[in-house]
Structures are given as structure tokens and as C-alpha cells.
């Protein structure tokens, strides 16, 4: 079992891992390389760099710094977090791990599904959490929008309440080596979601229509906000609410970086990562 598992390999996650590790605690960092930092072509306003540096360079330097301190960093996708009394079970595409504490530091998705009708029907047939809302669609026609392992995982959960679950990839392909076999999927590009009082159909660009009862959006990889919603963590203006120690309302789960709101800056992410790391170390050492 790990003392702490950090989800996210960006500035917040790596900074936190460094401080936890320096307290002689066992820490694991899990994440993908698809971060907001990687999309920054030139960084000129971060302390200590007299010459501009790319986001990708800074990202790689942070990971190497962690590895130099013998911190385990895994390139994997977290698809679920389970709160099991005195520990947390973190499930990835390839494995699962147990930990005493968890830090959510995957950033914040800046892109939502650009599909006509998706915002209009949120809460009226369109949902973002299979565990939270799947029960309302038992034995009904359910659609999952997405094409990655996160979408496949949500479809698997929904299979427990209905046999009629279809993944709509929105014009993209499902992963070739996926964790479970999916046979019921539609690859056409989605034009719109339509209905009257609630969402009732998905319409593709070629005007093909699919009658549905519920739609679950699971595009890309799961963000810190997605995990927060599943775990019942308090949100404020779609940001994770934390206390002065960067801890959420669930003891043992912390959050840092873009997912807590405020300035979307590297310096802010590093500060919150540092603070969360020190808080986690203090909590565990006191225990």
C-alpha cells in the first residue's frame, strides 16, 4: 500500500510528490502526458528561467526531477477511485493500487463536447457520472459519448443497470487494445442531441437518428472534477472545494492545481502542490 497516490503528472502533482517523498513516505504518481502544460508553446513568466522554455520541456524536467528522488511515476490512465473505509483503491487501465491518501491534480478540462443540445439537456437526459445517475436509466436505452478507456469504463458500469448500452465515438475510433470488449458502438459524427422536455435522440451528421433514454458524456480521460463528482466531493463553480490544507470534504483526498479554480498558472499549481504535499506528510506522520 502507498502512503499517497497522486493523479496527475503536472506541476501540482510532481511538486506534491517531491515533498511527500522527502518526508520518507511511499508515493506513486500516475498520469498521462496529455496536460495543459504540454500545450504551452513558450513559457516566459516562470521564475528561474532566463530564457523561454516550452511547456513540454518543463513537463519532462519535472518528471525527471521526481524520478531522481526515486519517486515512482507511471504513464497510465486512472479510470476510477473507490473509497473503502480506511483506504482508497485507485483503478487504472492496466492495474489497481491501494493508498492511504489521494491527491487529485489532473488539471481541469478546458474543452467540453461541442454538440448541439448537450448543454440544453444537462440534468434532463444528459449526465456526466455513470455511478451517480445510472440507476435512473435501469432497463432503458443508454448512450455513452466518448471513445477512450474512460468511456469504456462508464459503459461497463452502466451494463449493470441495462443491457442496452451503446458507445457513440463521435467520429473517432475506439482503442484497439481496449480493457474490455465492446461490440455495441456507433462511430458516426454526432450532429445534435434532440428532444422536448428531455433528451430523447442522438442525430448523426448523415441524419441517422437513434432513440435513447439517457446520455452519459465521457470524452477524453477522466478529470479531477469527474472523480470529485463520483466521490461526492464538494464543488463550487465547478471547482473542487478545499480547506486551508488543500483537503476536500472527504478525509484523505486532497486537490491541487487548476482543478481548485483561481489563476490557471504554473506558479499557483506548484504552490498548491507544495502545500498539499506538506499537509499529506503532516497528516500521515501524525497518524
User: What would the pLDDT profile of 13-56 be if each residue is shown by its tens digit?
Assistant: 999 999 999 999 999 999 987 777 877 778 888 889 888 899 89
Write out pLDDT tens, residues 184-196. 889 999 999 999 9
- Name the residue among 55, 2, 59 with its Cα closest to residue 29: 2
- Domains, the chain, ranges and CATH? 2-109+223-286 (3.50.50.60), 126-217 (3.50.50.60)
pTM to 2 decimal places? 0.81
Residue 175 Cα distances to 152, 157, 164, 182, 207, angstroms: 10, 18, 21, 10, 26
Inter-residue contact 254 to 104 (CB < 8 Å): yes
- Name the residue among 103, 80, 113, 109 with its Cα closest to residue 4: 103
Distance CA 252, CA 85 (A): 11
Lowest mean pLDDT among 12-21, 34-43, 135-144, 272-281: 34-43
Amino acid at each position: 500500500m502507498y502512503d499517497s497516490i497522486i493523479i496527475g503528472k503536472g506541476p501540482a502533482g510532481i511538486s506534491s510528490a517531491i515533498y511527500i517523498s522527502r518526508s520518507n513516505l511511499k508515493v506513486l504518481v500516475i498520469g498521462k502526458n496529455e496536460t495543459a502544460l504540454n500545450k504551452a508553446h513558450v513559457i516566459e513568466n516562470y521564475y528561474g528561467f532566463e530564457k523561454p522554455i516550452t511547456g513540454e520541456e518543463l513537463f519532462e524536467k519535472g518528471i525527471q526531477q521526481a524520478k531522481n528522488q526515486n519517486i515512482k511515476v507511471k504513464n497510465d490512465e486512472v479510470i476510477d477511485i473507490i473509497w473503502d473505509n480506511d483506504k482508497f483503491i485507485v483503478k487504472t487501465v492496466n492495474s489497481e493500487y491501494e493508498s492511504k491518501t489521494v491527491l487529485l491534480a489532473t488539471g481541469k478540462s478546458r474543452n467540453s463536447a461541442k454538440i448541439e443540445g448537450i448543454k440544453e439537456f444537462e440534468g434532463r437526459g444528459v449526465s456526466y457520472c455513470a455511478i451517480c445517475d445510472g440507476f435512473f436509466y435501469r432497463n432503458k436505452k443508454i448512450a455513452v459519448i466518448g471513445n477512450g478507456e474512460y468511456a469504456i469504463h462508464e459503459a461497463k458500469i452502466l451494463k449493470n443497470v441495462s443491457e442496452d448500452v451503446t458507445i457513440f465515438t463521435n467520429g473517432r475510433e475506439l482503442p484497439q487494445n481496449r480493457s474490455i470488449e465492446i461490440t455495441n458502438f456507433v462511430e458516426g459524427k454526432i450532429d445534435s442531441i434532440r428532444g422536448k422536455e428531455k433528451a430523447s435522440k442522438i442525430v448523426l451528421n448523415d441524419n441517422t437518428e437513434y432513440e435513447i433514454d439517457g446520455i452519459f458524456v465521457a470524452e477524453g480521460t477522466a478529470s479531477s472534477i469527474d472523480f470529485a463528482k463520483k466521490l461526492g466531493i464538494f464543488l463550487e463553480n465547478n471547482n473542487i472545494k478545499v480547506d486551508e490544507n488543500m483537503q476536500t470534504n472527504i478525509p484523505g483526498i486532497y486537490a491541487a492545481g487548476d482543478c481548485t479554480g483561481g489563476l490557471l498558472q504554473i506558479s499557483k499549481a506548484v504552490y498548491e502542490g507544495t502545500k498539499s504535499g506538506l499537509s499529506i506528510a503532516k497528516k500521515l506522520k501524525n497518524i
